[in-house]
């Protein structure tokens, strides 16, 4: 690699790293200024990707991707904004890809390193989002019981939600604190609960939101309904854990089989490069390579769709 290319790459990496650090400091500083109550975790109201206000959703592809990324960041529970997370991904990809390009002086390795550098943080964020949603599901029966006890004691639904926000702990309690803040700022009850359902996309949350909205409009014994719902949610959680235990071996086998091809390609690119060059230099090799990638992706998507538990 020539000296001007190295200088440009180093300047871009340093600029992105400084920008990402600055955005992180800004987000964390803004978050630290918005405390809810002594001893409770901080909750900051920010724009969340929901359609609770009835705004029409665009059908453009890039806007769908943008909304999906915003929803991923919001559901992961991180205090960073989507632009900051994207800058972190871009910085990781540029640092790893640029480092491999400088080390090997081969653009192909740099491109592969950039894709890996951006893909690994994304996978980590998806895994963190899944763990957070599972934690919210596990806490939901206790939260429903708290709302049921509050309404049985004569409190209104808003007061019961405030009780959950003040007394409960964990990931789901932070979401209810956000709901209480929105209610205190004058947002409608229905829109606030629909916003909760859009931030925590769980079937049990949607059922709870629907129950509270219908009860507020039509009336009825809310405490008894919530107690039965808590029992049903516990049974659903137990059934889902049983399904996950039953499919654990299949999911692990899928991960092992899926990792064989990338690891083999990495080994060949590192130690036997002439075999890999044949796939890129020859027309038949390029066709076989593309066919293998397409079949690999189809197989992975098919297996994960069959093993995916109901959310």
pLDDT digits (tens, 9 = 90+) for 64-122: 877 888 888 888 877 778 888 888 888 888 788 777 777 777 777 777 778 888 888 88
Q: List, for residues 24-71, the tens digit of each pLDDT value.
A: 776 666 555 444 444 444 444 454 555 454 455 555 777 787 788 888
Q: List, for residues 220-230, the tens digit of each pLDDT value.
A: 788 888 889 99
Query: What CA–CA distance (Å, rounded) separates 186 from 176?
Result: 15
Among left, alpha and beta (phi > 0; psi -120 to 50; other), residue 219 is left
Could you write out the three-class secondary structure of 205-274? HHHHHHHHHHHHHHCCCHHHHHHHHHHHHHHHHHHHHHHHHHCHHHHHHHHHHHHHHHHHHHHHHHHCHH
Mean pLDDT of 177-202: 88
Task: Sort 41 into a burial class: Cβ within 10 Å, 0-12 / 13-18 / 19+.
Answer: middle
With 60 as the cut, is the pLDDT of residue 311 above it? no
Which CATH code is given to the segment(s) 134-246?
A: 1.20.81.30
C-alpha distances (whole Å) from 124 to each of 37, 72, 96, 275 are: 31, 11, 16, 32
Mean pLDDT of 200-208: 89
Q: At what angle do helices 273-281 and 248-271 cross, to 10 degrees?
A: 90
Please count the residues of the chain.
311
DSSP symbols for 71-134? HHHHHHT-SS-HHHHHHHHHHHHHHHHHHHHHHH--HHHHHHHHHHHHHHHHHHHHHHHHHHHH
Residue given tokens 């093993």 in the structure block: 307
Query: What CA–CA distance (Å, rounded) separates 180 from 173?
Result: 10
Check residue 59 and give its pLDDT.
59
Check residue 41 and give its pLDDT.
45
Domain edges within the chain:
134-246, 247-311
Average pLDDT, the chain: 78
Nearest to 122 by CA among 72, 59, 190: 72
Nearest to 131 by CA among 77, 177, 168, 169: 77
Check residue 289 and give its pLDDT.
80
């Amino acid at each position: 690699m020539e000296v001007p290319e190295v200088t440009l790459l180093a300047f871009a990496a340093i600029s992105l790293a400084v920008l990402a650090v600055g955005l992180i400091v800004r987000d964390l500083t803004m978050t630290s200024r918005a405390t809810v109550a002594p001893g409770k975790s901080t909750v900051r109201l920010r724009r969340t990707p929901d359609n609770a206000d009835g705004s029409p959703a665009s059908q453009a592809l890039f806007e769908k991707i943008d909304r999906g990324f915003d929803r991923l960041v919001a559901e992961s529970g991180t205090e960073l904004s989507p632009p900051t997370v994207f800058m972190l991904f871009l910085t990781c990809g540029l640092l790893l890809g640029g480092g491999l390009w400088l080390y090997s002086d081969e653009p192909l390795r740099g491109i592969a390193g950039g894709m890996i550098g951006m893909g690994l943080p994304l996978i980590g964020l998806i895994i963190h989002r899944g763990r957070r949603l599972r934690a919210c599901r596990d806490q939901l029966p206790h939260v429903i019981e708290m709302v049921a006890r509050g309404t049985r004691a004569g409190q209104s639904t808003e007061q019961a939600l405030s009780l959950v926000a003040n007394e409960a702990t964990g990931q789901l309690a932070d979401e209810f604190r956000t709901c209480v803040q929105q209610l205190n700022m004058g947002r409608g009850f229905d829109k606030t609960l629909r916003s909760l359902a859009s931030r925590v996309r769980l079937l049990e949350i949607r059922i709870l939101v629907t129950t509270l909205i219908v009860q507020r409009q039509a009336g009825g014994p809310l405490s008894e309904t919530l107690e039965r719902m808590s029992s049903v949610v516990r049974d659903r959680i137990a059934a889902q854990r049983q399904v996950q235990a039953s499919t654990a071996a299949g999911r692990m086998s899928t991960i092992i089989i899926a990792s064989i091809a990338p690891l083999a390609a990495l080994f060949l690119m590192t130690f036997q490069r002439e075999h890999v060059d044949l796939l890129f230099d020859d027309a038949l090799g390029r066709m076989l390579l593309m066919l293998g990638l397409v079949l690999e992706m189809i197989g992975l998507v098919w297996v994960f769709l069959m093993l995916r538990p109901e959310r």
